[in-house]
Amino acid sequence: MQFQEGALFAAVCRGGPDNLFFCGQAVRTLRKILRLNGHDLAGIYAVSGPSPVAVLSCIGEERKLCDILLRITPQDIVGNMEDFKSVKHLSKVIDMILHLKGAGILEWKALAQERKGLFQDLGKTKELLEKIKAGHIIDNKVLCALLIKHTWPYLDRIFGPDAILMKIGATDFWTGQQVVFSNKIPEHKDWLFPAILGSMGLVPQFPATTIDHPKELKLVDKTHPDFDNLLLIDGGYSSGLLIDEAIREPIGYNVIFIFDIQGVQIGDFDINTHYDILTRILRALSIRSTTHDRLILNVQDRIDAEINTKNKIAVAREELAKAKQLSSRPEDIDVVLKLLDGILDDMNYGRLRLHDKHAPQRVMISNPEQAIPFDFTNFTQAQAAHLMRSGHNAVLKISKELGLNIKGIPFIRTNGDCLQAIQILNHTR
């Protein structure tokens, strides 16, 4: 497939912790291929996990992003999790005490050894209980520090004229409405970091993020009647895909690339996955979000068909207007033209609201066969590299199907050192 000169491309990254790594590398590889073929991205949209991908990619810093992703650790996102370790230790001590009846000297010595640091454990456990009481279990200060460290130096560029359009989606807890931040709205500049934290605010892991006077910031048209603020939680609760935002852009994209390692499908549960509260929460959110996002894509399919019908009616009207000039009874044709104008007006401004919608080609970039169980509080560098390789290879595959030139961009095979291959790949222009 040959894309016309001046074609406009957008990237829409679906939410999910694993998609941070998948999308991070996939977007970098896609931009390299597009530029190799004389094109580039004109906009990038993200929700939840991949939000940092949109922030750095809008200024062309995908290489820096991928370097960060290869070095990042769970501690960089959630801290040292000492309170959880303390709870685990306390549980072990309690278990030992409950089984002390008839215990020998060795068991008592073991208990005495485990008592070291017990009061510190009690303090840490109390901190965790206070967090739970406040509505979350992990502080987002560590994540906030990470975001500021790597994006603050680029803030002026992100909101500068040379940056491509970037949008990040979050959800308002009070009203349930979707909240979208954009680097093309100056009022959003001072709220970029709360926007990212809010978009990544998985419940109950992270606390919600508050933004006061949102109407003045051009974020929403209405707020809760009792609060003049937004309480932001994970964007995936309202929509895991900002596809509607991309389709409604006045710029009128020709192609929209949708990034999701699972291909917006509900993957089978891996029986080797550790079954705990975080796994259950992420799985439940994935099922709800995927079901919603599949519905949105199906609606977009119908909208595309309606736009196609509208365009055919518009062409028919133009041909009829030409025929009117040769007709012996132009007044009869005027009646039909008026009827067609009414139909077009209804389609554009009635229930269908097609006046600001476009029908771009949609391309799914996914690699469900390479999806793995992923816990953002406990992952390895090898897992991160695996997800990044999956994103890279997925882009290569779809680019080849589209007939794009991929010369000089290697496919990373599953055997061999995946981490080293990713490092080499991202240090070549």
123-179 tens-digit pLDDT: 666 665 666 666 667 788 889 999 999 999 999 999 999 999 999 999 999 999 999
Which of the four pLDDT bands, split at 50, 70 and 90, describes residue 184? Answer: very high
Distance (Å, rounded) from C-alpha 376 to C-alpha 18? 8
Mean pLDDT calculated for residue range 51-64: 96
Q: Taking a C-beta distance cutoff of 8 angstroms, is the pair 83, 385 a contact?
A: no
Helix, coil or strand: residue 65: helix
User: Residue 125 is inside which H or E element, if any?
Assistant: helix 118-134
Length of the chain, please? 429
9-77+140-285+359-425: CATH number: 3.40.1090.10
Which among 245, 252, 257 is positioned nearest to 33, based on CA atoms? Answer: 257
Report the range of poorest mean pLDDT among 136-140, 183-187, 289-293, 398-402: 136-140
Distance (Å, rounded) from C-alpha 87 to C-alpha 82? 9
Q: Which residues contact 221 (CB under 8 A, 6 or more apart)?
A: 215
Q: Write out the residue limits of the CATH 3.40.1090.10 domain(s) in the chain.
A: 9-77+140-285+359-425
DSSP state letter for 48: S
pLDDT tens track for 275-300: 777 778 778 888 888 888 888 888 88
Report the range of poorest mean pLDDT among 21-35, 68-82, 84-98, 406-420: 84-98
Q: Taking a C-beta distance cutoff of 8 angstroms, is the pair 22, 264 a contact?
A: no
